[in-house]
Amino acid sequence: MPDHFPDDVTPTPDDIRDAAETLSQLTEYLRTNPDLRTALALMEPLLDEYAGLPIQLGDTLRAFARALTDNPTIPHGAAPTLVADLRSAAWEQTGHHSLHYTLDELRAILRSELGTAQGRS
């Protein structure tokens, strides 16, 4: 595995800030009481069972923990606590992957509502 990525692949702090800003925009949008189908479409990639934010953040925290353990500049006595904290947080984040089931329930409710509305037409 290479020690670093090429410059055109390595994310920058600005890239990460942009991702956080996008999440902030989504939050603000959801506070406007949007159409549920639109909101669901926006939330689906965020809570995807395999590649959603809980899984990605957990993986990122574990990778950061691994980077700490592999870095000789981190004092040997400090590394275990830092790594344990990161791995614990990663486990908690990954545990939220089941939120996709909540979206499944909402999808079923919306389908049922649509079927009921069409039956009344």
15 pLDDT more than 90: yes
pLDDT in tens, 43-87: 999 999 999 999 999 999 999 999 999 888 988 888 899 999 999
Q: What is the dihedral of CA 114, 116, 118, 120, to 10 degrees?
A: -150
Q: Return the closest-CA partner of residue 55 out of 29, 41, 113, 63.
A: 63
8 A C-beta contact, residue 90 and residue 65 = yes
Q: What is the pLDDT of residue 1?
A: 44
SS3 73: coil
Q: What is the pLDDT of residue 116?
A: 67
Q: What is the pLDDT of residue 97?
A: 83
